[in-house]
Amino acid sequence: MGVVNVTPDSFSDGGRWASTDEAVAHGRALLADGADVLDIGGESTRPGATRPLLAVELGRVVPVITALVAEGAVVSVDTMRAEVAEAAVAAGASIVNDVSGGLADPRILAVAADAGVTFVAMHWRAHSDQMRDHASYDGPGGVVAAVRDELAARVEALLAAGVADDRIVLDPGLGFAKRPEHNWALLRGLDAVQDLGFPVLVGASRKSFLGDLLAGPEGPRPVGEREAANIALTLDLAGRGVWGVRVHDVRSSRDALRVRARLLGDAG
């Protein structure tokens, strides 16, 4: 899943693809590099981010989705708003990727159910400007048990809303209301999420816990210099059977996966 941030303030590449033409061109490049899905978002969810107006988010994503779907791309819309999801699906998006799992705007579940599209439910506790205050996992089993149980509750809500069980994908929400140690514990214990019985999407690309791991004398490794670490993680996740990885540098991840496949005897 290649990331297309149509935003001025995303933590990794905010502003680089902020116009429709730039975002469409970037989407084309990601497809050429081997992306299976383009995840198009108009709201930054970096820590501390404030939300754009609805009209602004719609204006950012709908034209990009329309253009890329017309060129044959499989598109996911990264949104927490029912109105944006509905407009995106009308424009041709076949996946709704909601980082709130339907908690920010419960009406989004009905949109996905009515449209029959795939719904990615991420583990989430609060909006970006508040999520640092919710990074506490002191119950039995720690963060792994909490994420598993809270995602299970989202599955129940999705099914109750009419989303088909074969249209549900789960995401452990690395970096969202989680400190670095929580992210690593979740990755080690990812089988607990997989045991819920649904495909799993993981988004670790360029996130701060990788920068902290690779920190040097001058502080965390800069965002643009974390790709090798993400590739290592992608290869591990591939071996554990995740449904997908959400990445910024599609070519590097695709190259690494091709090497892995060849070593395992897959000529492709």
Q: Tell me, what's the pLDDT at 82?
A: 98
Q: Say which amino acid occupies 185.
A: A
- Residue 237's pLDDT band (boundaries 50, 70, 90)? very high
Burial 212-229 (b: 16+ CB within 10 A, else e): eeeeeeeebbebeebbeb
Q: For residue 253, what are the CA distances in angstroms to 23, 32, 110, 201, 259?
A: 20, 13, 34, 15, 10
What are the residue boundaries of the structural domains of the chain, listed by start?
Answer: 2-203+241-247, 204-240+248-267
The pLDDT of residue 14 is 53
Q: CA torsion, points 216, 230, 117, 91, in degrees to nearest 10?
A: 70
Classify the C-alpha dihedral 2-132-187-200 as positive or negative. negative
d(CA 267, CA 219): 42
Check: CB of residue 112 under 8 Å from CB of residue 167.
yes
pLDDT digits (tens, 9 = 90+) for 242-260: 999 999 999 999 999 999 9
Q: What is the pLDDT of residue 26?
A: 96
Please compute the mean of the pLDDT values over residues 5-9 and round it to a whole number: 81
Residues recognised as catalytic = 207, 246
Q: Which of 242, 206, 259 is nearest to 3 (CA)?
A: 206
How do residues 160-197 score in pLDDT, each as one tens digit? Answer: 999 999 999 999 999 999 999 999 999 999 999 999 99
Residue pLDDT, tens place only, 110-154: 999 999 999 999 999 988 788 888 899 999 999 999 999 999 999
Across the beta sheet with 38-41, the strand order is 2-5, 38-41, 75-78, 95-98, 118-122, 168-171
Cβ atoms of residues 68 and 33 within 8 Å = no
Q: What is the pLDDT of residue 267?
A: 56
E strands in the chain:
2-5, 38-41, 75-78, 95-98, 118-122, 168-171, 201-202, 244-245
pLDDT at 15: 63
Residues 2-203+241-247, CATH architecture: Alpha-Beta Barrel (3.20)
Tokens of 188: 């080690």
CA angle, residues 5, 123, 39, in degrees to nearest 5? 25
Question: To which residue do tokens 């339907």 refer?
Answer: 102
- Position 131 scores a pLDDT of 86
Residues 201-220: tens digit of each pLDDT: 999 999 999 999 999 999 99
| pLDDT tens, residue by residue, 54-94 | 999 999 999 999 999 999 999 999 999 999 999 999 999 99
Task: Write down the mean pLDDT value for the chain.
Answer: 94
